[in-house]
């Protein structure tokens, strides 16, 4: 037996060390700060309260939400001149869960100092990463870890947005034993000649009149509101009675078209009080 670890190649270690110094120097030279985004999940103009609060969708159906979570990824910050800062992809995947406040606060690090006028991001996981090597599926993309409940194994791909809850409109037909509705929306388009539906959407938010300044070694905080009711309302007003359970399938396109508009810029924010979670960096690790 003459097996040693992957990480004990001294040449590699030195190279990595040199590389990290270079990166660090570059960073210092560029003068960077951080942007923290605080996601606030709402339903229309009301706060999202899991289980105990009843809402009404545009179709007039009453519903309560028991679970709401979604991926956001591939963040870009736009400058006034139209140029963009693209967050390095490996640090740009987040899974926001209503049940876990610490995930509702994400930090984008090493953002070049300057004034930004907008942010854009992918709702879900881009097709390249959806089809990537398992070793590149870390953190919230780890299907045997953080991402375990956001992955379809039989039609391999991530669930981008997942909302579940109860509604008296759910028909008690078939094997259904309770009034539960489920919207699991994914499908990244497949690979090569093996195409599936593509439900990847992008959000493009302007900061409006706000001047979002990123200062050296400082944290700039902004808010984004996520309106869960937008899954059900929009170009297609979803009837919970007619579509109580959408997990992939052709109808998922309508819900994805709806939720493409669920994000809105919510102004500059202050530091959150202690206890509201530490915030997450990179891939929600």
Partner 1 sequence: MSNLFYFPLGEETIISMKSILSFVVAAVLAVTIFSCSKTEVDSIDPNGTGGLTLEFDNYVGGTNMALGTAQYKNTAGESFTVTTFNYFVSNIELTKEDGTVVKVPNSYYLVREADPKSLNVSLTGIPQANYAKVAFTVGVDSLKSQAPVTERTGGLDTGSYGTDNMYWSWNSGYIFMKLEGISPASTLSSKAFQYHIGGYGGGFQGAAKTANNLRKITLPLGTTSAKVRTTTTPTVHLIVDAARALGGTNTISFAATPTVHSPALAKPIVDNYVNMFVVDHVHND
Partner 2 sequence: MVCALLAGISSCTGEAEVSLDTPTFTVPKNFPAPAYALDRNRITSAGVELGRTLFFDPKLSRDNSISCAECHSQPNAFTHHGHDVSHGIDNRVGTRNSLPIQNLAWSTSFFWDGGVLDLDLVPVAPIENPLEMDETLYNVLEKLRKDSTYPKKFKAAFGTEEVTTARFLQALSQYMLTLVSANSRYDKYVRNEGGTLSADELAGKQLFVQKGCANCHAGELFTDNKFRNNGLSLAFGTDLGRGRITEAPQDNYTFKVPSLRNVGVSYPYMHDGRFRTLEAVLDHYAEGVTETPNLDPLLKQNGRLGIPMTAGEKASIIAFLKTLTDEEFLKNPQFIQK
The site partner of 270 among partner 1, partner 2, none (C-beta below 5 to 8 Å per kind) is none
Residue 20 CB, nearest distance to partner 2 (Å)? 18
Q: What angle do CA 36, 40, 42 make, to 5 degrees?
A: 165
d(CA 231, CA 239) in angstroms, rounded, equals: 11
Region from 47-55, 150-158, 192-200, 241-249 binding partner 1, contact rule CB under 8 A: 47-55
For partner 1, the binding residues in 65-84 under the rule CB under 8 A are 66
> What CA–CA distance (Å, rounded) separates 182 from 268?
33
Q: Minimum distance between the CB of residue 1 and partner 2, rounded to whole angstroms?
A: 8
Residue among 145, 168, 171, 267 that touches partner 1 (CB under 8 A): 168
20 Cβ contact partners less than 8 Å away, ≥ 6 residues apart: none
Nearer to partner 2, 7 or 45 (CB): 7
Output 170 or 280, the one with its CB closest to partner 1: 170
Q: In this structure, which long-range contacts are made by residues 26-29, counting pairs with CB atoms below 8 Å and at least 24 apart in sequence? A: 27/110
Comparing CA positions, the residue from 210, 1, 31, 183 lying closest to residue 116 is 210
Under the rule (CB under 8 A), what is the footprint of partner 2? Answer: 1-9, 12, 131, 133-135, 137, 142-145, 148, 151, 153-156, 190-191, 194-197, 248-250
112 binds, among partner 2, partner 1, none (CB under 5 to 8 A by kind): none
Distance CA 36, CA 98 (A): 17
Which is closer to partner 1, CB of 133 or CB of 178? 178
Closer by beta carbon to partner 1, 103 or else 167:
167
Nearer to partner 1, 179 or 272 (CB): 179
Note the maximum CA span of the chain: 69
- CB closer to partner 1 out of 157 and 165: 165
The smaller minimum CB distance to partner 2, of residues 26 and 132, is found at: 132
Instruction: Output the smallest distance, CB 255 to partner 2, in A.
Output: 14
- The single-letter DSSP state of residue 273 is P
Residue 40: which residues within 8 A CB-CB, separation 6 or more?
A: 47, 104, 223, 224, 225, 226, 266
| DSSP state letter for 60 | S
245 in contact with partner 1 (CB under 8 A): no
Binding of partner 1 at residue 102 (CB under 8 A)?
no
Q: Is 239 in the site for partner 1 (CB under 8 A)?
A: no
Least gap, CB of 158 to partner 1 (angstroms): 25
* Interatomic CA distance for residues 92 and 101, integer angstroms: 19
x/- map, 185-204, partner 1, by CB under 8 A? --------------------
Strands (E) across the chain are located at 32-43, 46-47, 55-56, 62-79, 84-86, 93-97, 105-112, 114-123, 151-152, 157-166, 180-186, 188-191, 194-198, 201-206, 212-214, 219-227, 245-247, 263-268, 280-281
Under the binding rule (CB under 8 A), the answer on residue 243 touching partner 1 is no
Cα-based torsion angle of the residue sequence 190, 195, 200, 201 in order, rounded to the nearest 10 degrees: 160
Nearer to partner 2 by Cβ, of 2 and 177: the residue is: 2
Summarize as ranges the residues that interact with partner 1 (CB under 8 A).
51-52, 54, 62, 64, 66, 166-168, 179
């Amino acid at each position: 037996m003459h097996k040693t670890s992957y990480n004990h190649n001294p040449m590699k270690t030195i190279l990595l060390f040199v590389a990290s110094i270079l990166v660090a120097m570059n960073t210092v030279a560029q003068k960077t700060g951080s942007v923290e985004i605080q996601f606030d999940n709402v339903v229309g103009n009301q706060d999202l309260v899991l289980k105990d609060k009843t809402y009404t969708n545009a179709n007039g159906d009453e519903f309560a939400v028991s679970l709401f979570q979604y991926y956001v990824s591939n963040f870009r910050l736009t400058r006034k001149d139209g140029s963009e800062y693209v967050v390095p992809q490996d640090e740009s995947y987040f899974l926001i869960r209503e049940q876990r406040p610490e995930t509702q606060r994400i930090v984008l690090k090493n953002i070049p100092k300057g004034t930004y006028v907008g942010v854009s991001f992918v709702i879900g996981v881009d097709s390249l990463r959806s089809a990537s090597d398992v070793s590149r599926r870390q953190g919230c993309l780890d299907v045997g870890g953080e991402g375990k409940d956001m992955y379809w194994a039989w039609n391999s791909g991530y669930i981008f947005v997942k909302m579940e809850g109860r509604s008296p409109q759910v028909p008690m037909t078939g094997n259904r034993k309770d009034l539960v509705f489920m919207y699991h929306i994914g499908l990244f388009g497949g690979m090569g000649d093996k195409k599936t539906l593509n439900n990847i959407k992008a959000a493009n938010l302007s900061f409006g009149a706000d001047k979002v300044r990123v200062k050296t070694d400082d944290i700039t905080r902004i808010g984004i509101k996520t309106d869960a009711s937008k899954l059900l309302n929009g170009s297609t007003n979803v009837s919970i009675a007619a579509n109580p359970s959408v997990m992939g399938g052709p109808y998922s396109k309508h819900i994805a078209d709806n939720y493409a508009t669920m994000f809105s810029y919510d102004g500059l924010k202050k530091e959150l009080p202690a206890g509201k979670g530490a915030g997450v960096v990179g891939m929600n690790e």
